[in-house]
A and B are shown apart, each in its own frame.
Chain A
Amino acid sequence: MALLVEGLRARRGAFTVYVERLAVNSVVAVVGRNGAGKTTLLDAIAGVIEAEGRVAACGRDVSRLPPERRGLAYVQSVPVDPPTRVDKFLRMVARRHGAEEEVGEVVGRLGIEALLPRRGGLSTGQRQLVNLAAALLARPCAFLMDEPTSHLDWLNKKAFNDIVKALGKPVLYVTHDPFEAMYVADVICVMERGRITRCVENRVDVAYIYKVAESLWA
């Protein structure tokens, strides 16, 4: 089991999130309205906020570990600016996780070769790809993604989600958009008022609709 959450309870002010059980072995999308508790759920799993219950990553109980030792890469909705030149930053992350040889492969996979010598002035979409590359090089057990495409245009959104689908790693993916969830996820869970009310296998193929939409730019 890549990521397993059991009896997780986290509070943000008067609001409480409680998840009895959530298993993430592929791409699992959590959809819900504003204020449903999606970000609080990810924060609790990542260890950014305190929580009761159990979080296991790759069979290891990480519930009491700080975020930096959980092995869960947390991609944010507003992508973080690389602190140094992109290539230096990626090498720094890779070195920390013994993944130096993987830098070239990850960069090629995400198609960000042209960004390597750049330091600033990256677009939001480019920054998000660099964030994803850094997250990959951290060799996480699983990814937590909090509306990672909310600031991207539709084409960048699709490009990002195509990469997520091809990652081959467990991803807990939060989004407002049920169509996006249907495109990217294998399992879709609905969150309401701090609870996951149901999870369903995604059997809907919206790839055709995406292809039609993409043709508008062709």
Chain B
Amino acid sequence: MGLGEAVVGASVSVLLLLLVALPLAYFEAPPPGFVESVALTAVFGLAASLLALVPGLAAALAVRRGGLLGVVSQVLYVPAVVPPTSVGVLLLASFSLPRAACVEGVGLLCGVAAFVSGHVVNKPLGILIAMTVMALPVSFSIFDGALREERAEAFFRSLGFSGLRLFLLLFLSLRSATVSALVFSWIRSFGELGVLLIFASYPMTASIYIYQTWLTHGIGPAVGASLVVIAVVMALAFVVRRWLS
């Protein structure tokens, strides 16, 4: 066995030991609400991943084209490089009542802000917004990498395509990247805690559910829920990798 195989074997063994084998000793069935939280994460994660595809590709195209827009587009990386709790706090601040607007009583701006806040913070729409924000860097980086390899935009534009049709052709032509962006940002949504905990902790997604279960029921049921989530996500990642290769 070569050094590479030995390193891979050791890394996988350690991870399986720490994330599966040893925790199994604590395994208990998770309390009610687990399936709902996983289903909610799956649905909202998929919707967010779909929403992030268009801006991800658009930003990657802007970066390839260069210029000021290309530089500005790299802002899409921000959610990936700052602490998720910061993103959560900033989203919460953005969708909360602006104090200054409400000093004089309920003005129009205050009313609108209160309406938005009431429909976003700790609401399903808030989960969708949080997951979309966190999916943007994944989508962006995957399309950016794909367009470095294939100069598909230059080819299709030279064939006379532009606008929405060009976008559609790029999505279809870069289908491996499109599927990767979709699936990996979807998988990532299962692990998102920091933003959701602060900005949209209700209804409970899988990560919030596991955190709450640990707080209120102890480690056993939280281990049970975590292992099921790991199994689901690993199976999904395995299928996608097989398909892409």
Contacts from A to B (Cβ < 8 Å): 43, 46, 48-49, 66-70, 72-76, 78, 80-84, 93, 96-97, 120, 131, 134-135, 138, 140, 144
Contacts and interface: CB of A to CB of B under 8 A. Distances in A.
B160 A96 contact: yes
Contacts of B161: 68, 96
Interface residues of B, number: 24
B86 to A, nearest CB: 33
A80 B172 contact: no
A96 B165 CA distance: 12
B162 interface: yes
Contact of B157 (A67, A78, A140): A67
Given A68-B160, A68-B162, A81 B149 contact: no
Contacts, number: 73
30 contacts: A43-B154, A46-B154, A46-B158, A48-B154, A48-B157, A49-B65, A67-B154, A67-B157, A68-B161, A68-B162, A68-B166, A74-B154, A74-B155, A76-B151, A76-B155, A80-B152, A80-B155, A80-B173, A81-B152, A81-B173, A81-B175, A82-B173, A83-B168, A83-B170, A83-B175, A93-B160, A96-B159, A131-B155, A140-B158, A144-B158
A82 B159 CA distance: 13
A70 B154 CA distance: 12
B242 to A, nearest CB: 15
Contact of A67 (B66, B158, B174): B158
A214 B210 CA distance: 65
Nearest to B149: A78
Which residue of B149, B159, B168, B172 has the most chain A CB atoms within 10 A of its CB atom?
B159
B169 interface: yes
Interface in B54-98: 65-66
B173 A68 contact: no
Contacts of B158: 46, 67-68, 70, 72-74, 135, 138, 140, 144
B30 to A, nearest CB: 40
Which residue of B154, B158, B161 has the most chain A CB atoms within 10 A of its CB atom?
B158
The 4 closest A-B pairs by CB, nearest first: A83-B172, A74-B158, A67-B157, A83-B173
Interface in B157-195: 157-162, 166, 168-175
A80 B150 contact: yes
B66 A97 contact: no
